[in-house]
Structure 1
Amino acid sequence: MTFPAIALLEFSSIAAGIEAGDAMVKRAPVQKIQSGTVQPGHYLVLVVGDVASVEEAFAAGKDVGRDALADCLFLPNVHPGVVEALSGQQKAAQEDALGIVETTSVATAIEVADAGLKGAEVSLLRLRLADGLGGKGLVYFHGLVADVETAVAIGSNVAHNHLVQQMVIPQLHAEMWENVNRYGRFGQHFGWEAA
């Protein structure tokens, strides 16, 4: 299922995030709200639904939580691939190239993923957000080298000063593809529980 709009607010205070999330769903009839803590002690609130409701909820959340707002985004026409990634879907790949964009925030990573998918003929392999990353975001694009280069360039432009690193790896070795497709955290290789 795809949604025409999403908004995400990242708060440096958990209490402020809960208060803002409450204000968001009280202000507008969003289709769904997801919220919770992420590293490093931040609180995320994600709402999805029709454009007008999400925009109204976004405004309410920013207004109520403004003093603790670390980052935010409003995407009125989000790419379906981003919605799939946010719902936990992951695609296995072993294509021509892997593109990685690493950001300092969750909101920026989602924005990078959306821009890259809209601007190039690539797929989103994975979208990792905050937990186990010290609050960072990781966007993995895959496809043909030229297309992945385009997606990474577009995404990096969107990230501005939230960009940590960008990389395009052509002809990623099969054993590395296996690791990229299967694991996000090192301990998962050994069956360790996520901390």
Structure 2
Amino acid sequence: MLRAIGLIELNSIAKGIEVADNMLKTANVEVVISTATCPGKYITLVHGDVSAVENSIKSGKYLGGEFVIDDLIIPNVDEQIFPAIAGTSNTNQIQAIGVIESFAIASLIVAADASVKAAGVELVEIRLGSGIGGKSYVIMTGDVSDVSASVEAGVNAIKETGNIVNHIVIPSPHPNFRKMLI
């Protein structure tokens, strides 16, 4: 069964905590992450069936009001997204590397989902805002053509938001660097 995810990113920790509680009370969703991030932002990422996620996000956006920075709903999220966020991806081999870096957490998740759906890449990691000044990034691996196509798809998915910091493709990373990523 395909599941949906939704995320709200706020620029107030206190309001973020209140919104997270409200999101759970509004709809039958489960929390994936609900935490403060840098620099003083708060995110709540939920999953569930599409209508429940839509209702939860709608309620959160209404209550969050002026404190909402960004939000997303992805109806059929790729199964690689959750382990990449949790840091439990089971990548055994690093080939070419692609990285997309974003100013916003929600935009980065949209880019990561678009990237992995575009071509045969594996997500190595999705880092969401903590300890890196509120930026987020995704690292993916695969053959050079797939990584290039995936990075392009991810960037295209969010280019109009203005949240892209940078993106790169490394066709042949150094063997010692590959070991660091696994």
When normalised by structure 2's length, the TM-score is 0.93
Cross-structure match for 2:149: 150
Give the unaligned 5+ runs of structure 1: 182-195
When structure 1 is superposed on structure 2, of 83-92 and 48-57 the one drifting more is 83-92
Distance in 2, Cα, partners of 1:110 & 1:60: 21
Number of positions where the alignment pairs a residue of Structure 1 with one of Structure 2: 180
Do the aligned residues in 2 keep the contact of 1:93 with 1:142 (CA within 8 Å)? no
2:134, 2:84 → 1: CA distance? 18
User: C-alpha displacement at 1:3, in angstroms?
Assistant: 5.9
Rounded to whole Å, the distance in 2 between the matches of 1:33 and 1:150 is 28
- RMSD, aligned CA: 1.5
Aligned residue in 1 for 2:21? 22
| Larger displacement relative to structure 2 (25-34 or 62-71) | 25-34
Name the % identity: 38
Opposite residue 167 of structure 1, the aligned amino acid is I
1:3–1:83 contact (8 Å) kept in structure 2: no
Change (3 A) 1:126 1:34: closer
Residue 83 of structure 2 corresponds to residue 122 of structure 1: no
Offset of residue 21 of structure 1: 1.2
1:59 aligns with 2:79: no
SS, match of residue 177 in structure 2: helix
Q: Distance in 2 between matches of 1:14 and 1:67?
A: 13
Report the counterpart of residue 166 of structure 1 in structure 2: 167
The alpha carbon displacement at 1:134 in A equals 0.6
1 CA distance for matches of 2:173 and 2:77? 29
Unaligned runs of 5+ in 2: none
Contact 2:38 2:133 in 1 (8 A): yes
Alpha-carbon deviation of 1:81? 0.3
TM-score by length of 1: 0.87
User: How far is the alpha carbon of 1:92 from its aligned partner?
Assistant: 3.5
Letter in 1 for 2:63: V
Partner of 2:98: 99
What CA deviation, in whole Å up to 9, does each residue of 1:30-87 have, x standing for no partner? 1335311111111111111111111100100011102101111111110000022233
